[in-house]
Amino acid sequence: MPEDRIEAGIEADVDALSAAAASRPRTPRERARAQTVADIVRLGREHLALHGAAALSLRAVARDLGVVSSAVYRYVENREELLTLLLIDAYNELGDEVDAAVGAVPEADFDGRFAALGRAVREWALREPSRYALLFGSPVPGYRAPAERTTGPGTRVIIALIGILDGAFRAGRLAATGRRSPAVAAGLAGDLAKIRAEFGLAVPDDLLARGTLAWTSLFGAVSFEVFGQYGPDTFTAREELFAHHLAVLADVAGLPAAGAAV
């Protein structure tokens, strides 16, 4: 990705982040603090793009911010906290883009919403490869995300996807396809029942397992493209390949093509 595109992306994002941060703090002091945290996150993104998550250093971010590291720790406690802020920031940006793309398609067009979700994930990942890698790539050695803060932002895409599939099922528009009806073993059925209860879903076991596969497969295809697994020239028509994949994955999930009978 050309550096000016990275720069432009970062600038646009930081504006949004600063605006969001500035809308809450009440006093000038709180505003200044929110602005400094936003600056640290912005620099953190740049370091992420240059060095990767594993080599992220709060001390180096402080240097770029022009302050001594003891000063930066007043705003962001440690490297783990910076990673957490970057995770939440990236998950929410991805979640916002997915929600906007899905929301632009009529609610009853389940197939259209599924495709819009998939394309939004891919487009964000191609535009933000290092942030995508932070979310969906190799775990960062020594770092464990605090579930109570990251699970909400981190489950936005799967919740949007499962919402589409559950809506389609309730509308009588979701049915397993293909030549196989793999059995759902007892342990898996237990996991799926818990998920169904937690999210108030109606979609039955086999279709919920298929939805899970459509979810991991979507990210599998995006990761292979973004992480360079296709090699430099094996697939040149990547958008066409992805469109084919999305159509097959909609079928895996049990969604008929728009207009088709179930």
Q: Is residue 220 near its own copies by the rule CB under 8 A?
A: yes
The CA–CA distances, whole Å, from 253 to 69, 113, 179, 217 equal 50, 13, 14, 11
Q: Is residue 218 near its own copies by the rule CB under 8 A?
A: yes
Angle, helices 79-103/28-51, rounded to nearest 10 degrees: 90
- With contacts defined by CB under 8 A, name the span among 6-14, 36-44, 96-104, 241-249 that binds its own copies: 241-249
Residue 9: CB atoms within 10 Å: 16
Q: Is residue 57 near its own copies by the rule CB under 8 A?
A: no
Of 258, 261, 256, the C-alpha closest to 174 is: 256
x/- site string to its own copies, residues 134 to 153, per CB under 8 A? Answer: x-xxxxxx-----x---x--
Dihedral of CA atoms 95, 100, 106, 109 in degrees, nearest 10, equals -40
Q: Which residue among 61, 90, 101, 133 contacts its own copies (CB under 8 A)?
A: 133
**Interface positions, 158-217, toward its own copies (CB under 8 A):** 177-180, 182-188, 190-191, 194-195, 209-210, 212-213, 216-217
CB-nearer residue toward its own copies: 92 or 223: 223
Does residue 106 contact residue 112 with C-beta atoms inside 8 Å?
yes
User: Which two structure tokens, joined as six digits, stand for 161?
Assistant: 């996807």
Binding site for its own copies (CB under 8 A): 50-55, 133-134, 136-141, 147, 151, 177-180, 182-188, 190-191, 194-195, 209-210, 212-213, 216-221, 223-224, 227-229, 231-232, 234-237, 240-241, 243-245, 247-252, 256-257, 260
